[in-house]
Amino acid sequence: MADDEPVGIGVLGAADIAWRRTLPALLRCPTARLVAVASRTPGKARAFAEHFGCEAETGYERLLERQDVRAVYIPLPNALHERWADAALRAGKHVLVEKSLTISTAAATGLARTARERGLVLMENFAFLHHPQHTRVRELVAAGAIGTPRVFSASFGIPRADPGLIRYSRELAGGALRETGCYPVRAAQLFLGEDVQVLGAHLRYEPDGGVDTAGSVLLADGAGVTAQCDFGLDHGYRNTYALWGSEGRIEVDWAFTPPPEARPLLRLYRAERREELVLPAADQFLDLVTAFAGACADPAAHEAHARAAVRQATMLEAVVALAGGSGDEEGRRAGARSARVPA
Ligand SMILES: NC(=O)c1ccc[n+]([C@@H]2O[C@H](COP(=O)([O-])OP(=O)(O)OC[C@H]3O[C@@H](n4cnc5c(N)ncnc54)[C@H](OP(=O)(O)O)[C@@H]3O)[C@@H](O)[C@H]2O)c1
């Protein structure tokens, strides 16, 4: 297959996020081609295939056997990511996995090793990283718009919804940290850098072995710039961050999931001045798919994606540990064993 052909992509699971955001963007990406969607249920696979103009497969294994699929997108429940990402890599496919990649650092490290050994991409899907609004924020900070950065704070919370959703399933590794908290924690690394460490965390769990539905995390980088991340699944909708510096602050209104038609609003406060910047709309999912297709064709890009995914898994594991484990006695003991508070 020629390198300049669009990357043939298969999808494991007829998931809501694939239907709403990823596949519409994929269809508009000139460097990627949707080949097939696999579901455990033939009718669901057919519905996706008819809607998106691709083929349907029943069973994820069958999709991995296809020679015309060079890369797979995995929007399965978090607890199934490791198993199917591993199977896809071993079948020789590049992999884009929904956040949160895995439930442990060890699992993420294992996947990264497998990807490296086979010369394949392992990318965790944080589409917001591809939205140009964050580049604009970084440019403003670099130009001194807020002076020296002191604090990053971010919040992502959504209202309580149907209890049958995978985000409320402990067995499927749902919960506020992996559903919404992962975004502010990832964003803290974008702005504070790779040496950021988790200093403290609290997770509030549902009674009777339920998932975490609320949490807060404190992080800091080597220079003492701090990040405060708040998140939840039982909250009034909030999806925002701010950078506060020695001379002002920048606030981002719709930080993590702006729709493609939204024109982002940045608010810049400096001394007595308040300025609003309205940026052009951008489709972060289209930019994500384009970046993934580009990475498939660029071995030099592979390592950075896998390293970022492992670092994020390390962060989330540290959060669970510092919050006292995963909410039950066994989890608390495991948390205490694996807690790694930076010196
Ligand atoms: N990037 C984003 O903006 C974003 C937003 C929301 C969610 N996500 C992530 O995307 C992933 C999917 O979330 P979603 O909300 O789209 O979930 P969803 O609609 O429930 O889809 C998950 C899919 O996984 C498959 N599946 C396999 N085994 C399953 C099981 N035991 N129980 C339930 N489903 C099973 C199902 O596909 P078949 O029945 O067709 O096999 C199902 O459609 C999660 O990792 C989530 O964290 C990302």
Q: Which domains, ranges and CATH numbers included, belong to the chain?
A: 7-127+287-311 (3.40.50.720), 132-281 (3.30.360.10)
pLDDT digits (tens, 9 = 90+) for 25-38: 999 999 999 999 99
Ligand 1 centre to CA of 274 (Å) is 41
The pLDDT value recorded for residue 2 is 58
Beta strand residue intervals within 99-223, DSSP E: 122-125, 149-157, 197-205, 212-220
Is pLDDT of 338 > 90?
Answer: no
CA dist., res. 233 & res. 238, Å (int): 11
- Ligand 1, atom 34, residue with closest C-alpha: 77
Mutate to test the pocket of ligand 1, among 98, 100, 162, 185 (most ligand atoms within 8 A of CB): 98
Predicted local confidence at residue 337, as pLDDT:
39
Distance 207 CA to ligand 1 centre (A): 24
Residues whose CB is less than 8 angstroms from the CB of residue 151 and which lie 6 or more positions away in sequence, other chains included: 225, 226, 227, 228, 243, 244
Label residue 4 by pLDDT band (50, 70, 90): confident
- For the purposes of burial, counting CB atoms within 10 Å of the CB of 224, is it exposed (0-12), middle (13-18) or buried (19 or more)? exposed
Burial class (CB in 10 A: 0-12, 13-18, 19+), 229: buried
Which atom of ligand 1 lies at the shortest distance from residue 13's CA? 37
Is the minimum distance from the CB of 40 to ligand 1 under 6 angstroms? yes
Question: Is the model's pLDDT at 291 over the cut of 70?
Answer: yes
Of 73, 74, 76, 81, the residue with max ligand 1 atoms within 8 A of its CB, to mutate for a pocket test, comes to: 76
Q: How far apart are CA 195 and CA 21, in angstroms?
A: 32
Q: Is 44 a catalytic residue?
A: no
Q: Which two tokens stand for residue 52?
A: 């998106």
Predicted confidence at residue 3, as pLDDT, reads 62
Is the CB of residue 16 below 6 angstroms from any atom belonging to ligand 1?
Answer: yes
In the Cβ-directed half-sphere of 237, how many Cα atoms lie within 13 Å?
6
97 touches 78 (CB < 8 A)? no
Give me the catalytic one of 21, 99, 186, 305.
Answer: 99
CA angle in degrees (0–180, nearest 5) for 260-264-267? 170
Element (H, E) at 232: strand 226-232
Q: What is the mean pLDDT of the chain?
A: 94
pTM equals 0.95
pLDDT band at 341 (very low <50, low <70, confident <90, very high): very low
Instruction: For residue range 213-249, list pLDDT tens digits in order.
Output: 999 999 999 999 999 999 999 999 999 999 999 999 9
**CA–CA separation, 73 vs 11, rounded Å?**
5
